[in-house]
Chain A
Amino acid sequence: DAGVTQSPTHLIKTRGQHVTLRCSPISGHKSVSWYQQVLGQGPQFIFQYYEKEERGRGNFPDRFSARQFPNYSSELNVNALLLGDSALYLCASSAGLADLGTGELFFGEGSRLTVL
């Protein structure tokens, strides 16, 4: 069975540009969460979606946005990139609403974004 897949795996952008990161959850999973992991730090929560609705938002500026599609895949968009947005962006899926918080998160390998 395929795990959580993320694309692209690596990308380089310049300040002010826009980036879109994509995530496909494990088949059957209806919840997707996004995390930012800056080098040397733990993952920081950005967004959580369940059944195409936003269920949670972390302390990130409005430059960050996301959405979930009918097939439960998800996109994370970041506008007006700053140097500080350089990080590993992790997507995680879980089976359902009951799993949010109590169940296991299944992580993809991440998209490493470098902003120059």
Chain B
Amino acid sequence: AQSVTQLGSHVSVSEGALVLLRCNYSSSVPPYLFWYVQYPNQGLQLLLKYTTGATLVKGINGFEAEFKKSETSFHLTKPSAHMSDAAEYFCAVSDLQFYFGTGTSLTVIP
């Protein structure tokens, strides 16, 4: 069975600081991994995805994530946080259906 664990339900960073959101997965087969963002009262929007190939994946809005098989991790990073990054972030793994983590709420402090 597939599953993801997001460490830290709430993360606060100062504007301009590094953003690090953690995700570990459990998968019986090579995983397809995703990060989605959800702004208040909106649906989810894809930030980036890893399917095959390069393990460092770049997404929209300056976010990137690195697939580390040995650590079963897919952490999301952004070098410099912006106020507009405040949102809920979900890590997901798929095997035809998607399994989402419980989410991490990112607060950006001015």
Q: Is B80 in contact with chain A by the CB < 8 A criterion?
A: no
Main secondary structure of the interface of B (DSSP, over half): strand
Interface stretch, picked from B12-20, B41-49, B66-74, is: B41-49
Number of A-B contacts (CB under 8 A): 59
A105 to chain B, nearest CB (A): 6
A76 to chain B, nearest CB (A): 15
Q: Within 8 Å CB of B94, what residues of A? A: 101-102
In the complex, per-residue mask of A20-49: 1 if CB is within 8 Å of any chain B CB, else 0: 000000000000010100001111110010
> Chain A interface: which size bin?
20 to 34
Known: A42-B90, A56-B96. A104 touches B101 (CB 8 A): no
In the complex, per-residue mask of A79-93: 1 if CB is within 8 Å of any chain B CB, else 0: 000000000001010
B35 to chain A, nearest CB (A): 12
- Please report the C-alpha to C-alpha distance between residue A106 and residue B46 in the assembled complex, in whole angstroms: 8
Q: Within 8 Å CB of B97, what residues of A? A: 33, 45, 48, 56, 58, 100-101
- Please report the C-alpha to C-alpha distance between residue A92 and residue B97 in the assembled complex, in whole angstroms: 11
Write the residues of chain B forming the contact surface with A, with a CB cutoff of 8 angstroms: 32, 36, 41-46, 49, 51, 90, 92, 94-103
